[in-house]
Amino acid sequence: MIHNIAHRGASAYEPENTLRAFERAIELGATMLELDVHLSQDGHPVVIHDADLSRTTDGIGRVAVLSLAQIKRFDAGLGEQVPALIEVIELARGRAQLYIELKGQDTSEPVVKTLREAAFLDQVVVGSFFPWLPQKVKFLEPAILTSVLIRGEDRQADFIAWALAVEADYVHLCWENVSPTPHKLLTPAMIAGIRQHGLGVLLWHEERPAELHELVQLDVDGICTGTPDLLSDMLQKN
């Protein structure tokens, strides 16, 4: 089965990383919700992509210097608030899994604590572009599946070794911008080579129908997208 991973929720249709976007994603067929996490000043994992509020809310300032209550005063689009991680867990419980991308350097331990307290350890993948963050997650809680995100610039590097070095379960290839046709960079032989090392394969966020059509034919474990309805249709036809 290929996971239909809603990238920041159904972000093509709703304000990214909001409860509204996650609810819509489930309605449109997502089986996993991708979200980004930073830590608030008072230690809560909060769901926002940037370290600063200004791009996605009507506020300004760094997430790390504001309390959760202060962050929640701002509008994240269409009247939505920036959610705490626990709110997304409760929205998803029994309906979808979560793919938690650690953005803030101090997020590993608070995210593990939140997942433990919520009894949600077996319903997530936790990943990052910073391999030492999922490494810490795996050290703290070996039951949590983890991933290492690989930038397009690093596609020639030995990213399999990077993932193995931190005991990750998946490589997540983020190659959406490195070619007009990124699926051509990912050959079946390359996927087989990754799998030989016991690693799963997750793919970048893709919304172009022609590219999605190619990706669903590959032996991968999940594809990120802002258009989970489109991906859902293609997975059903495939």
Q: Candidates 28-36, 50-58, 66-74, 110-118: pick the segment binding Ca ion (CB under 5 A).
A: 28-36
Contact mark string toward ligand G3P, 126..155, x via CB under 6 A: -----------------------x------
- The verdict on 34 binding ligand G3P (CB under 6 A) reads yes
Q: With binding defined as CB under 5 A, does residue 101 bind Ca ion?
A: yes
Return d(Cα 73, Cα 70) in angstroms, integer.
5
Rule CB under 6 A: which of 82-101 touch ligand G3P?
Answer: 101
The binder of 183, among ligand G3P, Ca ion, none, by C-beta within 5 to 8 A per type, is none
Least distance in angstroms from the C-beta of 49 to ligand G3P: 6
- Is 211 a residue that touches Ca ion (CB under 5 A)? no
Using CA atoms in the order 110, 18, 147, 232, what is the torsion angle rounded to 10 degrees?
A: 150
Long-range contacts at 104-108 (CB < 8 A, ≥ 24 apart): 104/37, 104/38, 104/39, 104/51, 104/63, 104/64, 105/130, 105/133, 106/39, 107/37, 107/38, 107/39, 107/45, 107/133, 108/133, 108/134, 108/136, 108/137, 108/140
User: Minimum distance between the CB of residue 127 and Ca ion, rounded to whole angstroms?
Assistant: 8
Position 36 contacts Ca ion (CB under 5 A): yes
Told to check if 229 binds ligand G3P by CB under 6 A, we report: no
Residues 6+ apart with CB under 8 A from 82: 17, 18, 46, 47, 48, 53, 56, 57, 71, 72, 74, 76
Binding site for Ca ion (CB under 5 A): 36, 101
Residues lying near ligand G3P in the complex (CB under 6 A): 7, 34, 36, 49, 101, 149, 174, 204-205, 224
